[in-house]
Amino acid sequence: MRRIDILTTTSLMGALFIGSVSAEGKDAMFQQASQWAAVSQNSSVSERMGSDKTVKKLLSDGAVLPVDPYTETPPKSQTFNVKVLSEGLNAPDGLAVHPETGEIYVSEEDLVRISKIRNGRIQVVIDNATPIQQSIDGKRIRTDQLRNPEGIAFAANGDLYVVEDTPGGRLIRFAFNSEGLCKEGEVVHFPGAWQNYAWEGVDVGKNGEILMAGSDVESLSRQADCPSLFSGAIVYRDMEGNWWVPYQRVFSSFSHVRFSKSGKQAVYTCEITGEIGWLDLETRQPIGGNSSVVAKSPEGICCLPNGALLYTEEQGNVIYLDPSTDKRETAAAGLKSIESVCWDDQGGLALVTEDGGGRLLALIPNDPLPRHRDLLEFAPYHPIYSPKFIPDKCPAYLAEILALGGMSDQKTGMTNISLREFTSRVPLIAADARATPVQGLPQEADPVERVQFVVFNPNGLLVTEKGPQLSLAAFAAVKKSGQVVRTSVMRTTAQVADPVMGTVDPVGASAMAVPQPSAISVSSLGMATLHFLGMGKTPDYAISIDPRNPSDSYMVVFGYDGSRFQYKLDLPNRDEASDRWIVAYSGVSPTEWLRLVDPGEVLKKK
């Protein structure tokens, strides 16, 4: 009892203010923990409003969402037949269907070419000998040949857009003459510092809008001056020609992106986190959603005529996903490694590239897909920002750490600002919680009784032109025996192995604070989910706290041997207001995306 009394008034983390890192989104190392720690929204009620076919769902946080009126008669399972359309391709990747002729185009990255499939026969139309022009200072000059073509997409006028899957990859537009021949390509300029990015996916909207998806993960092993951490981005050009970044996140690699049936949303895949998600493109606000199912290395995605999604998993599966109900069905399985998928509207079928078998496949629906529906319109959408929960008085467990930084609302000689003002400048999540093992489940021999943590500037690790911006964090867990697992420093080295040359070369060393906070998210209801990675030095911790209802909070401890122990969390003393938890983090701004402009354009405006 003495130990617990001391913890109530003294912070375990006071001397552990150590730099650490955070990663936005779902970390692949914590997919299992992410699934467990995802907290569902409060139960909702449905009521009819107006006519029989108008149904609204009222959520507890005040949001009103439409409910598909056709769910009164649940649709039967959607099944597909697989047919081989062409063989003999070399690791086929990107897919596109010509809007007028209906001919299928396939990119073959390794051979640096794009081929047209006609009656099962392969005809090369673009390769690394096709000249490419670029406009610089108003002059057109010939530039580098095509490299690593992957994602391809047709515009409504028949122009083919291609992205290069290599660091410093370009967006290139190829025009065809009346005979279907391509004489040259032209680089499409888009602003920003993307020299480390490789682009895997591209799509073109009905009005000339463009979506691109990629990451700088390849740069980690190719370049000495690459960033120490990788990130993924989705880039968007609107119909006015403005370029935006609606979504960018560290520890991610977006493998594909496409416009939805209506063109109002973007649907995307992340091959590292397994995320299948969608973003709103109309409001210019960070609003989106994603499936609760973690896919296995998803590569391609497309929207079907009924608004459902079809995505590919690299190991040979094609999955049908209803975003309105989050129900998934296997459309095809047992294929060799596969890449892209796209919908052929003229043929009424889905196309899939099987790079492991060198084949172009067709997935033919056994039942027609209803075009009068758009299931994505009924998918859940949530703001990518959240309400804040900040007590009027700074909790005792946090006061000592803030005092180390020179901030106190009680001590003289220090910066005297309120906790609310401080958190408006420095976002943070902090808690001091009592831990109780969940009964009826496996328990640790020496269970955790108390956990304290604070993360400043959550998910603040952004890869910018100035380098990484790090978060600060501290963590402590007290066990029944009195043992304390707390933040410490672990030195790490990174190496790159070349299997061809048989060499292993060091590329750098760094100091890392463990447990390391990662994959921090806050729901639109203010519930915070955090993961602390032990990196083999401590157990891993997955924590979900609800500051509105602290007793609805949980923690999972992942042992070194894969064991898993679950705890309920609560306030140490529910009558003590100073022990309140803090969730003062709203994610990104709710009013704008990141707009991309060239430095010259900024100077002109000034």
Question: Could you give the CA distance from residue 369 to residue 77 in angstroms, rounded to a whole number?
Answer: 11
pLDDT bracket for residue 459 (50, 70, 90) = low
CA 406 to CA 414: how far, in whole Å?
5
> What pLDDT does residue 26 have?
30
pLDDT, the chain, mean: 81
CA nearest to 371, candidates 304, 317, 287: 304
Of 50-64, 147-161, 394-408, where does the model show the most confidence?
A: 147-161
Residue 360 has pLDDT above 80, yes or no: yes
pLDDT (tens digit per residue) in 243-271: 999 998 878 899 999 999 999 999 999 99
Vertex 449, ends 446 and 450: CA angle to 5°?
135
Q: How far apart are CA 193 and CA 178, in angstroms?
A: 37
Q: What angle do CA 216, 217, 221 make, to 5 degrees?
A: 110
What is the model's pLDDT at position 30? 28
Percent of the chain residues topping a pLDDT of 90: 53
pLDDT surpasses 60 at 14: no
Q: Considering just the CA atoms, what is the radius of gyration of the chain in Å?
A: 26
Label residue 288 by pLDDT band (50, 70, 90): confident
SS3 letters for 447-505? CEEEEEEEEECCCCCCEECCEECCEEEEEEEEECCCCEEECEEEEEEEEEEECCCCEEE
| Between residues 344 and 120, the one the model is more confident about | 344
H or E stretch at 403: helix 396-404
The better pLDDT of the pair 490, 112 is held by 112
| Amino acid 436: pLDDT | 96
pTM: 0.64
Residue type at 255 in one-letter notation: S
**Residue 361 above 50 pLDDT?**
yes
Whether residue 527 contacts residue 546, with contact meaning beta carbons closer than 8 Å, is answered with yes
pLDDT value for 276 = 95
Q: What is the pLDDT of residue 223?
A: 59
* Per-residue pLDDT, 99: 96
- Higher pLDDT: 558 or 579? It is 558
* Enclosing H/E stretch for 37: helix 31-37
pLDDT of residue 480: 96
| Residue 332 scores a pLDDT above 60 | yes
Q: Report d(CA 251, CA 255) in Å as an integer.
A: 13
Residue 569: pLDDT above 70?
yes
Report CA-CA distances (Å) from 404 to 14, 408, 454, 471, 511: 8, 9, 14, 16, 22
Identify the pLDDT of residue 253.
93
Question: How far is Cα of residue 506 from the mean position of the Cα atoms in its chain?
Answer: 29
Q: Is the pLDDT of residue 363 over 70?
A: yes
Over residues 558-576, mean pLDDT: 88
Element (H, E) at 176: strand 171-176
Query: Comparing 90-104, 355-369, 521-535, 554-568, which segment has the lowest mean pLDDT?
Result: 521-535
Q: Are 34 and 27 in contact (CB under 8 A)?
A: yes
Mean pLDDT, residues 575-604 taken together: 66
Q: Mean pLDDT lowest for which of 49-63, 76-90, 201-215?
A: 49-63
DSSP string, 411-441: STTSB---HHHHHHHS-EEEEEEEEEEPTTS
**Rounded alpha-carbon distances, angstroms, from residue 519 to 23, 31, 33, 458:** 5, 10, 10, 9
Across the strands, what pairs with 132?
185
Domains belonging to the chain, first-starting first, are: 2-37+386-595 (no CATH), 77-372 (2.120.10.30)
The model's pLDDT over 428-453, given as tens digits with 9 standing for 90+, comes to 999 999 999 999 999 999 999 999 99
